[in-house]
Structure 1
Amino acid sequence: MAITIRALAQALDAQGWGDLDLPVTGASEPGATGPVGPKGGVIALAMSPKYAETLKPGSMAILAQGMDPQAFGLKAAIFAPRPRLLMAGLTRAFDPGPDIAPGIHPTAIIDPSAQVGEGAAIGPFVVIGADVRIGSGARIGPHVSIGRGSRLGDDALIHAGARIAHGVTAGHRLIVQPGAVIGGDGFSFVTPEESGIEEIRRTLGTREGIKQQHWTRIHSLGGVEIGDDVEIGANATIDRGTIRATRVGNGTKIDNLVMLGHNVVVGDDCLLCSQVGIAGSSKVGNRVVLAGKVGVSDNIEIGDDVIAGGASKIFTRVPAGRVILGNPAVKMETQMEIQKAMRRLPRFAQQVAKLQETVTRLLEKG
């Protein structure tokens, strides 16, 4: 696949410079590119002076606004007004996507009552259950299973080995990476009498008596509802609701190994990074960012536009717009003061020890 500098700049809504007819066949780091001939080649990503130092004369590159292509001896360049946003467009232009052949593979098993939209591609060994609806232009990779009554919108991309259980409803342009599981049963159990967990919540840790207990399953009757333009990472899991559905809003992006418990509600345009875990019945607002390994306790409400730093543990309600960090999570500025104070503790301990020695000597003399 090749595209000229001119066409690529237009597609990226950016400004081109130099030989605009040079073909671009891909992108790479500056150190891995070299001079290009009439047939073009790979364009270097050099959107800061640090990266541009390794550019070779005669090559072509994407530069930040204000950088001088002539100073690097380039044949052609594209100027990026917002580098990371331009990266999104560039990678989209050169991404061939998964190798899923058009049409329905002969090894796929599709229930007669299922409906597959126009232009959909169904890969090898896919299993599609009864009353499933798949929108037009969808691409379903090999070894995917889609359970009874589930609905996928137009242009869905479901990668190899993903599992979509029964009663899942998703909007348009859903992307599910390999191994993700959507709609598994919630982790919900109860004991005939008060459990040890209920006891320590009531007493704040005091055990009044340890007894045998037996866990009884609470079945998951709700489904999962997913909005438009949602992406779900590899080996992420989203449990179905107990009575009402677990919900994920429009535009939300979920990283690998994220866990959403039963009845969780996640708003629009959220970013949930790897190993985030959200316990049952918690509610996350719109545009919330949870960095890697953030944990959210059950029945917690997180307001809109909250940002939680990596490995934060959230046990209480978080107001809208707050930036939090730590375990337990507090305002970021508070957590920074806590960290400073902790670093001072060894020195404080030494000072206290010296004060104790001094007081002891004075008492002995007195």
Structure 2
Amino acid sequence: MASTTYTLDEIATALGARLEGRGDLRLSGAAEPGDAGPDDLALAMQPAYAEALPKGHARAAILWEGADWRALGLEGALFVQRPRLAMAHLTAMLDPGPEIAPGIHPSAVIDPEAQIGVGAAIGPLVVIGRGARIGSGARIAAHASIAEDAVIGHDALILQGVRIGAGVMIGARFIAQPGAVIGADGLSFVTPEASGVERARASLGDQGEIRAQSWTRIHSLGGVEIGDDVEIGANSCVDRGTIRSTRIGSGCKIDNLCHIAHNVVLGRDCLMAALSGIAGSTVLGDRVVCGGATGIADNLLVGDDVIFGGGSRVLSNVPAGRVMLGYPAVQMQTHIDMYKALRRLPRMLKRLKGAQNEVPKDRPND
């Protein structure tokens, strides 16, 4: 694939950056300073990164405010206020996206009752079921399957091996990374009498009399509803609801290997890092952030703008605006105090044992 080139001036305009030096330099890529070639824009937003510039061959770089680009041997430089935001715009310019040929590949299997929007690109061995509706400009890569009556908005990008279940409703500009599964049945089973799990939960630990029982399946009649501008990572799963739909609000970004269980509701612009999971019927507010491997128990309420640090285990409701960490998750400052106290325990116990040894075992009579 031929690379698209941009002048440094064009990149500055797209990034909202201040340009110094040669705006006519033509560049086709971005690279770390030590790896940059003459056609790359080096990313040296901090002095520590710039130390590697002499190892590469960059003619231009993104630098920090106050940097002397001439002394660094560059012909031009860009200066930005927020480096990671600049990276977002730069990578969007330079990313060609996956190669999915326009039109419908001859090996795709599309039901006659499915509706395909104008300009959609459908790759090899894609299967689209009866009554499914695919929006205009959608791109669907090889081996994806979209079941009956699913609806996908315009400009979606559905990558290799994605599975979208029956009746799933998805908004515009959706991105699904390879292997994502949306609309599978959730874990919903019941025993004829109260199970040991139910009794243990009610008693906080005692499951009572042990009885042999088998599990009866509760079928999933609900769907999945996903808003606009949502991204689902590779091999992540979103289960359909039992009766009502599982819902993911517009703007949510979900990393690889995450699980959203049946009946969960996510508000707008939530962020979930890899290996996080939300158990059934829990409701998250807007802009909730889950660090890697966060686990949230079922039937909980989490308010707007809550942040969970990586590895947190959430066992109770969380009010809006809290920053939480630990197992069980508590406010971050409380967790830090608990951790400091835990580290002191061995020393405290040693001192206590020493103090006990100093006390005579047999005291004289008064």
| Category of TM-score, reference length = shorter chain | over 0.9
Report what 1:309 is aligned to: 309
Displacement of 1:73 in angstroms is: 1.9
* 49-58 or 274-283, which deviates more: 49-58
Structure 2: how far apart are the matches of 1:316 and 1:209? 27
Alpha-carbon offset, residue 363 of structure 1 = 3.2
After superposition, give the CA deviation of every residue in 1:14-53 in whole Å (9 maximum; x if it has no partner). 122211111101010100124x3xxxx1111101111111
Question: Does residue 146 of the first structure (1) align with residue 146 of the second (2)?
Answer: yes
Does 1:8 find its partner at 2:11?
Answer: yes
Alignment of 1:133-172 (within 5 A): 133-172=133-172
Query: What pairs up with 1:1-366 in 2 under 5 angstroms?
Result: 1-34=4-37, 36=38, 41-56=39-54, 59-359=59-359, 361-366=360-365
Q: What's the % identity of the aligned pairs?
A: 56
How many Å separate the matches in 2 of 1:106 and 1:362? 91
Structure 1 counterpart SS, 2:71 = helix
With normalisation by structure 1, the TM-score equals: 0.96
Cα displacement (A) at 1:72: 0.8
Q: Mark the runs of 5 or more structure 2 residues left unpaired by the alignment.
A: none
What's the RMSD between the two structures over aligned residues?
1.1
How far apart, CA to CA, are the structure 1 residues paired with 2:127 and 2:174? 18
Partner SS state of residue 17, structure 1: strand
Larger CA deviation: 200-209 vs 52-61: 52-61
| C-alpha deviation, 1:257, in angstroms | 0.4
Q: CA deviation at 1:60?
A: 1.0
Q: C-alpha displacement at 1:80, in angstroms?
A: 1.6
Q: Residue deviations 1:206-230, cap 9 Å, x none?
A: 2321111110000000000000000
Secondary structure of the equivalent of 2:355? helix
Once residues 255 and 275 of structure 2 are traced to their aligned partners in structure 1, the CA distance between those partners, rounded to angstroms, is 8
CA distance in 2, matches of 1:33, 1:138: 34
Distance in 1 between residues matched to 2:206 and 2:98, nearest whole Å: 55
Read off the aligned partner of 2:362 and give its amino acid letter: L
How far apart are residue 355 of structure 1 and its match? 2.3
**Range moving further from structure 2, 9-18 or 217-226:** 9-18
Using the size of structure 2 for normalisation, the TM-score is 0.96
- Structure 1 range deviating more: 250-259 or 76-85: 76-85
**What is the aligned length?**
360
How far apart are the structure 2 equivalents of 1:333 and 1:20? 48
Query: Cα distance, 1:62 vs. partner?
Result: 1.0
Paired residue type of 1:2: T
